[in-house]
Amino acid sequence: MAEEMYRNVDAHGLEKLVSALFVHAGLTEHDAAFMGECLTYADRRGIHSHGVRWAPRYAASLAAGHLNAKAVAKVVLERGATAIVDGDRGVGHIAVKFAMDIAIRKAKEFGNATVGIRNNSHCGAVAYYAQQAADAGCIGFAATTGGTMIAPWGGLDRRVGLNPISWAAPTGKGFTYNLDMAPSIVAGSKIEMARDRGEPIATDWAYDAEGNPTTDPLAVLSHGGTLAPVGGYKGVGLGVAADILCSVLSGGRYGEGEEPNHGGGMIVQAIDIEHFQPLAEFTGRMDRLVDWFKSSRVKDGVDGVYLPGELEAGRNAVRSHSGIPLDIPTRSALHKAAETAGVAYDIEL
């Protein structure tokens, strides 16, 4: 009998394993613990495309020196309510969290703040950083450059990044409004996951190198294909806006060939709500917005309508005690990485 594709894995044990992999890869205990928490946060919320499946890849990149295990993120420019953080070519998540901590502090002082990050690498789900701000009583915004995989509208070649943007705002409803979206119909990782599972992709997700719709993940990933942008030219425009905010402004890399040594760029912003109104008044207004939104009639066969972040918060609550469903490629990669590193773990992969 074939092994089942998904198995529930204990969230706490998974976090411990991921942290141990990063300690073995040379990160400090503090940074490794954060990475365990940050990656399982994505999986707990159901965003597996940015979750623990990345841990073995990051560990391999650290071992190979593509990522700097001894990186220390630092402020290289600081003026008023703005700053630029250099990620020191480390695991990307660490510098972006550091940058949002600065943005929140500055927002409390000035009302709002913008911090750019450069010389950094893949930083996972930007929802994490926007959430930091919301948890601190701010409206948070975070964006990052991603792989260059979208063609200009009417064009054929990869020119625009799969650059996700996220906005988050607190409510009084037990979840945080948290939109995290790539400018493509689906995130690039979803096409990688289909490839890894040997599954076809939907016809409206991507094009081959000649601009024809395709269901073959390899035609997209390995043979010059591109991902379909949301709303046609609008998604292209959103992707370029993020390239400008994340990389042109911070001095990071965009596209290809442009200052490759500067690494990937990100931007984080925080707006302190209490500079505008008492936080309780804001969350009260958010709650009325949520009630109004959810009072909509639903289509036949639909169980309800949900705000961005709402289903994710529900999954997080459930999975924190009943486990995280991981697919075979992810479990297998974690198992191999743990064996290679000689790291013990007490979960069934």
In the range 131-150, which residues lie near a second copy by CB under 8 A? 139
Q: Report the residue from 222, 277, 322, 336 that binds a second copy according to the rule CB under 8 A.
A: 277
CA angle in degrees (0–180, nearest 5) for 235-181-144: 90
CA distance 170 to 225: 38
Q: Does 19 bind a second copy (CB under 8 A)?
A: no
Give Cα 280 to chain centroid, integer Å: 29
Q: Report the residue from 49, 119, 121, 269 that binds a second copy according to the rule CB under 8 A.
A: 269
Q: Does 273 bind a second copy (CB under 8 A)?
A: yes
Q: Does 292 bind a second copy (CB under 8 A)?
A: yes
Give phi and psi for 319, each to the nearest 5: -75, -20
Q: What b/e readout covers 208-241, taking b as 16+ CB neighbours within 10 angstroms?
A: bbeeeebebbebbbeeebbbbbeeeeebbbbbbe
Give the nearest distance from C-beta 342 to a second copy in angstroms: 43
Q: What is the CA radius of gyration of the chain?
A: 20
Q: Does 33 bind a second copy (CB under 8 A)?
A: no
- Helical H segments across 222-278, by residue range: 233-243
State which amino acid sits at residue 148.
Answer: T
Binding range to a second copy, per CB under 8 A, among 19-27, 40-48, 234-242, 316-324: 234-242
Q: Report the residue from 104, 126, 286, 334 that binds a second copy according to the rule CB under 8 A.
A: 286
Give the nearest distance from C-beta 212 to a second copy in angstroms: 10
Closest to a second copy by CB, 63 or 244 = 244
Q: Report the residue from 22, 34, 98, 254 that binds a second copy according to the rule CB under 8 A.
A: 254
Q: Report the residue from 146, 188, 282, 324 that binds a second copy according to the rule CB under 8 A.
A: 282
Q: Does 213 bind a second copy (CB under 8 A)?
A: no
Binding range to a second copy, per CB under 8 A, among 30-38, 48-56, 62-70, 242-250: 242-250
Binding range to a second copy, per CB under 8 A, among 59-67, 86-94, 245-253, 326-334: 245-253
Helix axis angle, 92-110 to 127-135, nearest 10°: 30
Closest to a second copy by CB, 204 or 348 = 204
Q: Which residues contact 264 (CB under 8 A, 6 or more apart)?
A: 92, 118, 120, 121, 122, 123, 144, 145, 246, 247, 252, 253
Cα separations in angstroms, 194 against 93, 146, 330: 25, 19, 12
Q: Give 224's Cβ-side CA count (13 Å radius).
A: 7
Q: Does 261 bind a second copy (CB under 8 A)?
A: no
Give the nearest distance from C-beta 23 to a second copy in angstroms: 35
Q: Please report, as residue ranges, which positions from 163 to 182 form the binding site for a second copy (by CB under 8 A).
A: 167, 169, 177, 179, 181
Give the nearest distance from C-beta 292 to a second copy in angstroms: 4
Q: Which residues pair with 138 in a beta bridge?
A: 272
Q: Please report, as residue ranges, which positions from 57 to 116 form the binding site for a second copy (by CB under 8 A).
A: 77, 79-82, 84, 109-114, 116
Closest to a second copy by CB, 160 or 206 = 160
Read off the tokens for 5. Answer: 């594709």
Binding range to a second copy, per CB under 8 A, among 6-14, 17-25, 33-41, 286-294: 286-294
Give Cα 128 to chain centroid, integer Å: 7
Q: Give me the DSSP letters along 6-36.
A: EEEE-HHHHHHHHHHHHHHTT--HHHHHHHH
Size of the site for a second copy (CB under 8 A): 77
Give the nearest distance from C-beta 330 to a second copy in angstroms: 24
